[in-house]
Amino acid sequence: MCDKAAMASQAPSFDEITRLVEAAHTIAICAHTSPDGDALGSELALLELVESVWPDKHVSALLADDDVVPRIYAFLPGAERLVRACDYHGDPDLFVCVDLSQPDRLNDARVVLERSARVAVLDHHPANVPFWDAGVVRPAAAATGVIVAEYALHLGAGLTPTMAQNLLCALVTDTGRFQYQNANGEAFRVASALVDAGASPSDVSLHVYQSDRLSYLHLSATVMGRITTFEHGRIAYSYATTADLEANAVPVAECDGLVDIVRRVDGCEVALFLKEVPGGKVRGNLRAKSDRDISVVAREMGGGGHPAAAGFTVEGDIDHALAVVLPKLRALYACDEGTVPSSHSERR
Ligand code: 5GP
Ligand code: MN
C-alpha cells in the first residue's frame, strides 16, 4: 500500500523507535495543541498499535490542552481514553510526539515531555530543530496517519477496524477529503488499505462533515458574507470576532473548517481566516491553492506548518492581526508585479 522507497528509508528509524518502546515501561503519546483529525486519529491508532504489540506496556494518550475532545472527533474509537496533560502526573520512560515536531506546540504536555526519559516523533511537518531520540518525520506524507499505518505494517501488526477508522479520519481530514495538493498516490493507496481493513468513509464523513450545529452554519454565513479579496482576487480573507462566536454560541474549537469556506473563492490562491481566541489573541489559518509557500508567512507571524497549510497565533485583535499579516501576504506577489490574472479584478 505504501511508497516502497519511503518504507525503505523509514525502516531504520522505525527500528530505533521500536527499540525505545521496548526499553520503556511507561509511555505517553501526545499530539499538538488544538488537535485536528490527523492529530487525534494518529494518536489513537498508535495507542492501539502499541498496546496490541506490547500488551505489557503502560500507555497513556494525552491531550495537549486543558479542553475536551473536539465534538466532531469524539466518535473516534478510543477517544474516551484521552487524558488532559494537565491531569497526567507521571514521568514516562518514553514520550511520543504525534503530528508535531516542535515542542512549543505541546502546550500543557510540554512539561510532561521535559519529565520524560526519551522522546520519539512520528510526524509529517517540516522539522526545524530535531529534539528527539528517534523519529520519522516525512513532510511528503499526506498525513501523520500514513506514517502510523506504515509503522503498523513495518511491525507486521494487522490493522484492526478501529485502528483503520482512526487512520482514515486522519487521512481524510488532512487531505481535505482528498482535495488538497498533498492527496498523492500513497494517500489513496493507504486509504484503500484502511477501507479494506474495516474503516468506514461514510461514517467519518457523517461525523466530521455532516454534523454541523445550526449555530455554526449561521456563523459560517457571517464569515462567508465578510470574505474580501485583494491583489486582483488572488488573496481572500475573512474573520470571526469574539462577539461573533458569542452571538452564535460557537466554541473556538469548532471553527477549524472556516478557512475552507474562504478558499472556495474562484481565482483565490491564498486564503486566510482569522478568529479571536481567549487571552487577547488571534489565531490565523492560512491555505494556498497554488504553489505559493504560505508557511513562510506563518513562520514570520511566529507560527509554522506546511507550504499549503499553515497557521499562527498573534497577540491583539482582528484589526491588529490584519494590519500585520495582509502586507506579508501581499509581499508574496511583490515579484510578479504586472502579472494580473485576466478574469479577476479587485472586489469584495
Ligand atoms: P491549521 O491552520 O489547520 O491550524 O494548521 C495548518 C497546519 O499548520 C497544520 O499542519 C498545523 O499543524 C500547522 N500549524 C498551525 N499552526 C501552527 C503554529 O503555530 N506553529 C507551527 N509550527 N505549525 C502550525
Ligand atoms: Mn497532520
What number is the average pLDDT over the span 278-301? Answer: 96
Residue 5 pLDDT: 82
**Assigned C-alpha cell, 344:** 479577476
Express as a percent the part of the chain with pLDDT over 90.
89
Residue 8 pLDDT: 85
pLDDT above 50: residue 346: no
pTM: 0.91
d(Cα 142, Cα 312) in Å, to the nearest integer? 20
* 347 — pLDDT class (breaks 50, 70, 90): very low
Q: Which amino acid type is present at position 178?
A: F
> How far, in Å, is the centroid of ligand 1 from the Cα of 5?
27
Residue 296 pLDDT: 96
pLDDT, tens only, 56-74: 999 999 999 999 999 999 9
Residue 338 pLDDT: 59
Nearest CA to ligand 1 atom 2: 285
Nearest CA to ligand 1 atom 16: 311
Please report, for residues 95, 292, 299, 337, 342, the alpha-carbon distance to residue 333 in angstroms, rounded to integers and kept in the order given: 42, 9, 17, 7, 16
pLDDT, tens only, 24-43: 999 999 999 999 999 999 99
What number is the average pLDDT over the span 251-272? Answer: 94
Phi-psi region of 234 (alpha: psi -120 to 50; beta: other; left: phi over 0): alpha
Q: Which ligand is nearest to the CA of 105?
A: 1
pLDDT, tens only, 104-145: 999 999 999 999 999 999 999 987 789 999 999 999 999 999
Whether 35 lines ligand 1, by a CB cut-off of 6 Å, is no
Residue 127 pLDDT: 72
Express as a percent the part of the chain with pLDDT over 70.
96
Average pLDDT, the chain: 94
What number is the average pLDDT over the span 219-240? Answer: 97
> How far, in Å, is the centroid of ligand 2 from the Cα of 335?
31
> How far, in Å, is the centroid of ligand 1 from the Cα of 310?
5
Give the closest residue to 294 by CA, choosing from 277, 281, 312: 312
Give the closest residue to 285 by CA, choosing from 247, 331, 245, 325: 325
Residue 214 pLDDT: 95
pLDDT above 90: residue 85: yes
Q: Taking a C-beta distance cutoff of 8 angstroms, is the pair 53, 157 a contact?
A: yes
Nearest CA to ligand 1 atom 21: 304
Pocket test for ligand 1, best of 33, 306, 313 (most atoms within 8 A of CB): 306
